[in-house]
Amino acid sequence: MKRLALHAFQRCGLFSFTRALSAGKARILMYHNFSGPGADGGGLSEAVARQQFDYLRQHFKVVPLSRIVACLAAGKKLERHWVALTIDDGRRNCYEFLFPLLKEYRMPATFFVVSSFIAGEDWIWTDKVSWLSEQPGHREQLAPNNLPQLFRSLNRMRPETRNQRIEEWAAGAGVSLPQKPPARYAACSWAELREMAGSLVEIGSHTATHPILSSITDEESWKELIESRRQIEEGIGGKVSSFCYPNGRLEDYRPSQAKQIREAGYDCAVVADSGLVKNGADRYRLPRVGMERKTESVEMAKYLDGMAHYQSKLWPKRNFLQREPEEIVG
């Protein structure tokens, strides 16, 4: 029913109407992982990425995130049909599968990376949980359908408590967590980031160790902001001016920590809460549109064209046409 209704709305011109109506609002798109032809890596396939990029090229103008931020900082009006691409965490599949597409389509993007992950000091804790869920003998709570609730619980724990819990689950499954991330979860190298930074890609900070900011003290979050930028700027030989909150929901950071990002000298910060960017938006709480689960063309168009945005404004408590798989955040 939902798919039939969406196709009907698209055919009758409603999507085109909402695209025109929302043209003055920028879209910041959110991604995490990409996969190649025939791969079962859990990321957005190259074929679907091409479909999305073709649609963007036809109906929108993809610009660097910094250009949107500069307009907001200057109090200028956003240009029509602007879109920015953002990718979180810094996994190598983005270099391997996405970067060639960015060059082919001549589209800029911003990569938000976890500095200790790129430096090879550790791999991202959320990936460790996902890896454990793939192992034989894992606990029922690590079953794929239980992971969203499990992550919500882990997000509220202090990092040391969370890490201990993950180690206990590994021991319970009779496995040892690898010292280095398996290929599916591997990080980009500094050399790969430098290559991308020299062509179309801006590099931003996603903290040093990927803690949920609300689970740590303000003193600790300040260190995450400063140390991650120092490591990344040293690694790429360039300036880092943008930040991405880990997980990025409203409950994942405190107002004092949003203030810290400004005080630390960053130009902007993006969240994971869904929405479009309007003129005068808060540069340190920029909403994004998750696109990794939008694998059907009509679902993709619903979000890019602003149909979902106006639906949520007009009928915030109704879920008709709105229910979808939980979008990946991290």
Q: Quote the pLDDT of residue 97.
A: 96
pLDDT tens by residue, 175-230:
999 999 999 999 999 999 999 998 899 999 999 999 999 999 999 999 999 999 99
How would residue 325 be classed by pLDDT, with cut points 50, 70 and 90? very low
Q: What are phi and psi of 190, to 5 degrees?
A: -60, -35
* Cβ atoms within 10 Å, residue 236: 21
Q: Is residue 89 within 8 Å of 114, Cβ to Cβ? A: yes
Q: What are phi and psi of 107, to 5 degrees?
A: -110, 130
For residue 273, the surrounding DSSP H or E stretch is strand 268-274
How would residue 321 be classed by pLDDT, with cut points 50, 70 and 90? very low
Which tokens hold the place of 289? Answer: 């549109």
Domains and CATH numbers, the chain: 2-124+181-314 (3.20.20.370), 125-180 (no CATH)
Amino acid at 324: E
Of residues 83, 65, 88, 98, the one with CA closest to residue 272: 88
pLDDT tens by residue, 140-158:
888 888 999 999 999 999 9
Q: Quote the pLDDT of residue 12.
A: 83
Q: What percent of the chain has pLDDT over 70?
A: 94
Residue 168 above 90 pLDDT?
Answer: yes
How would residue 327 be classed by pLDDT, with cut points 50, 70 and 90? low
Q: Is residue 219 within 8 Å of 258, Cβ to Cβ? A: no
Q: Quote the pLDDT of residue 139.
A: 77
Residue 289 above 70 pLDDT?
Answer: yes
Residues facing residue 205 across a β-bridge: 113, 243
Q: Quote the pLDDT of residue 317.
A: 55
Of residues 228, 272, 194, 204, the one with CA closest to residue 65: 204
Q: Quote the pLDDT of residue 318.
A: 52
User: What's the mean pLDDT in 163-168?
Assistant: 96
Distances (CA, A) of 51 to 33, 156, 231: 16, 37, 35
Say whether 171 sits in a helix, a strand or coil: helix
pLDDT tens by residue, 38-72:
666 679 999 999 999 999 999 999 999 999 999 99
Q: Quote the pLDDT of residue 11.
A: 79
Q: Quote the pLDDT of residue 144.
A: 84
Q: Quote the pLDDT of residue 136.
A: 87
